[in-house]
Amino acid sequence: MDLMLDVFDNDAEAVQGGDSDTINKATSPIMGYSLRYNNLTALIMAASDSTVVTLTWALSLLVNNPNILKKAHLAIDTYAGKERQVEESDGQNLVYLKAILKETLPLYPAAPLLIPHEATEDCTIDGYDVQKGTRLLANIWKIQYDPRVWPNPNEFEPQRFLTHKDVDVRGQNFEYLPFGSGRSMCPGVSFALQVMELTLATLIHRFDFETPTGEPINMNESIGLTHQRATPLEVLLSLRLPSRLYGQ
């Protein structure tokens, strides 16, 4: 997008059939060709939705697992302390926080069926003949819940990713595909991880969480293209840091 803006600002002839703003907004950064709808807006909305979904499930899991939340508090306090706010530069040291996110992504993937893929040639998948041009939907929820690969797949166990530190979220390990794989994988994976890690670290560092009733949070799921909670997440917050740090 930066390059396109630069080209249009310096070369009026590059704009054919419309003004630069219209063409930029209607151009897909993924596919490389113009679409009839505002694809850039769709990308921003999709990214915001999936990020919120993942963070909401992560908090839900932490509230229902206070022992893991306590470990997360301890891990962040070890590097950031309680006399300053957690910063993005702390992220490389927050190994346990990364494990919490890695564990949340397969349990409650924001897009359980990914985006549609298309077979570029005739092939055979698990004994089924698939013709070229067939639209395919990858059920990553099923893949990531496979007990043959992941022991206790229904349990929230971030420590499994302390053992399997090398499991990649960028589609290199086909048993773990939270952002998809190949040319059609999520283009915002790097940005998404940075935003989620810093946001979750900030929330855990600043607050303690509990339910209004003292009972575990209802983890029922709704039906839709994204993996939403069936009911809003409601928690009580209590401050963990000196009050002066909340006014910045």
- Binding region for heme: 186
In angstroms, the CA 237 to CA 209 distance is: 5
Q: Angle at Cα 51 formed by Cα 216 and Cα 54, nearest 5°?
A: 30
Helix 189-206 vs helix 39-64: angle between axes, to the nearest 10 degrees? 40
Residues pairing with 158 in the sheet? none
Annotated binding residues: 186
Count CB neighbours of 208 within 10 A: 16
Pick the closest to residue 150 from 140, 188, 60, 214 (CA basis): 140
CB 71 within 8 A of CB 96: yes
